[in-house]
Amino acid sequence: MNHAEPSPRQDLHRFLDDYLEAHPEDVLVVEDVVPAQEGVTGLIYELTARRRSDMVLCRKIAGLDVPVLSNVFASRARIERILDAEPGRLHEVYQQRAARRLEPREVDDGPVLDLVVSGDDVDLATVPMLTHFSSDRAPYVTSGIIVAEDPDTGVGNMSYHRSMVHSRNELATSLHSRGDLWRMLNTYGERRRPMPVAMVIGGHPLFMLAASSRVPYDVDERSIAGGLFGEPLDVVRTPRHGIRVPAWAEIVIEGTIDATARADEGPFGEFSGYSSHRSTNNVLHVDTILRRHDPVLLDVEGGNTDEHLNLARIPRESEMAEKIRDRFPDVRALHYPTSGTHFHCYVALRQQRPGQARQVMLGLLGWDPYVKTVVAVDEDVDITNDSEVLWALATHFQPHRDLFTVDGLPGSPLDPSSGSDGTTSRMALDATRGPDFHGDRIVVSEAARAAARTLLDQTLDS
């Protein structure tokens, strides 16, 4: 046991204070009372309509006793700042730091142990939750990270699972039936034992990014968090089951999931932009609720928002970017656009020989189980801009020559267009110019652009 104090660098409150001081222009602070029913969602959707991605801090939420912080992950530039990455180096820095895994450091105490309620005193009505969409069945926890440990090795698993109240001491939740937590639950089920779990609601953004990482079953995401922090994740053990959770967590719900127990759950607004009724309908029986004396509800805005998609795809993009560049050095950039939810991928490359773009796209379609459509473009196309990619398709692409499909592959269970057996077809579109292309792209010189910027700044400020 390490008797040192937990590192304040891992404190969400300190992160928020520091970020507000350094980047006040990037945080929308709302002092008025905001409704718990779709109020935060409405703010974020209206910001998006105005092409803004501010982090949103609502100090007063009707009916809740905590402030709400949301839209943290909506901006790639903000995630770069959180990772201390130079602009444009998000993927490389994420991969480098995640690869330097550090095992958690157990400490005696932490803010999450300020208030501990157990047994008959447990009441989930005291846990703050928001209703995100009018089509949602109930208020939901959207940032809940379930932590569980393998019964044989003790290796931990962290993953996000939407959850709603089923009873005073039960949450109805949906697990991922192809994920590692599901595999672990089946192991406990085969032994006729409930699986001890702890749901972490709110933590430092780097901890939350670690929970989205895609790693093998025998890799503990808590060690990924240590790599992202550059220091071991400080953890305390939960009172009942001894699960190691962040000492600086805002709220932790400790309990068990029985593989045989079921409860209705959903619909809920998912990343596809549709309200999803698909659920594993699991039940988390709550033994203990732990919380700071001054918690913040860190909410992840659901649906097909930049926040929801970025949180899940930054680790995926980073992994795929590293993998595809290692195999194909002429790849220059990779991007999963919000417009394509998790199903579209753009790749930019310097094509040196015929067929190279097809080979790259085949790799992406084979490696990433979510991607349905890949568009390949030349390196001078800005793949973070949908309009530029569509321009490349309009001017470089011939359907009879530059398109191929593959069918009968496993797809996302949340894709409303997938087959009844869960399979999907996948498509590759080669929008590179190719060796026989003739045309010179128009150019506006950087000198003209710089002069125009100066003129506009003077005109708009006057």
Rounded CA separation 161/145 (Å) = 6
Provide the pLDDT for residue 4.
67
User: Beta strand pairing status for 115-118 and 282-291?
Assistant: antiparallel
One domain for residues 374 and 257: no
Rounded CA separation 271/209 (Å) = 17
Rounded CA separation 108/2 (Å) = 7
Domain that holds residue 412: 328-430
Rounded CA separation 283/360 (Å) = 42
One domain for residues 297 and 150: yes
One domain for residues 135 and 271: yes
One domain for residues 252 and 366: no
pLDDT tens-place string over residues 324-376: 999 999 999 999 999 988 899 999 999 888 899 999 999 999 888 889 999 99
- Tell whether the model's pLDDT for residue 229 goes beyond 90: yes
Residue 58 resides in a domain: no
Residue 105 resides in a domain: yes
One domain for residues 194 and 296: yes
Rounded CA separation 129/126 (Å) = 9
173 CB-contact burial (10 Å; exposed 0-12 / middle 13-18 / buried 19+):
buried
Residue 2 resides in a domain: no
Rounded CA separation 462/458 (Å) = 6
CATH number, domain of 107, equals 2.30.110.10
Rounded CA separation 322/101 (Å) = 17
Is residue 258 within a helix (H) or strand (E), and if so which, with residue range? Answer: none
Q: How far is CA 221 from CA 99, 236, 262, 308, 413, in A?
A: 11, 16, 27, 19, 24
One domain for residues 338 and 287: no
One domain for residues 154 and 190: yes
Q: Do 364 and 347 meet the contact criterion of CB atoms below 8 Å apart?
A: yes
Query: CA nearest 203: which of 262, 164, 160?
Result: 160
Average the pLDDT over 231-252 and give the result: 97
Amino acid at 434: G
Residue 46 resides in a domain: no
One domain for residues 297 and 334: no
CATH number, domain of 412, equals 3.40.1670.10
Residue 323 resides in a domain: no
Rounded CA separation 233/7 (Å) = 9
pLDDT tens-place string over residues 27-77: 999 999 999 999 999 999 999 999 999 999 999 999 999 999 999 999 999
One domain for residues 260 and 348: no
- The model's pTM is 0.90
One domain for residues 289 and 174: yes
Residue 102 resides in a domain: yes
Residue 17 resides in a domain: no
Average the pLDDT over 435-462 and give the result: 89
Phi, psi of 288 (to 5 degrees): -145, 145
One domain for residues 275 and 418: no
Rounded CA separation 229/265 (Å) = 35
Residue 206 resides in a domain: yes
One domain for residues 233 and 130: yes
User: Beta strand pairing status for 144-149 and 156-160?
Assistant: antiparallel
Domain total of the chain: 2
Query: CA nearest 428: which of 380, 379, 328, 356?
Result: 356
Q: What residues have CB less than 8 Å from 272, skipping those under 6 apart?
A: 304, 341, 414, 415, 416
Of the chain, the percentage scoring pLDDT greater than 70 comes to 99
Beta bridge partners of 131: 37
Tokens representing 249?
Answer: 């967590």
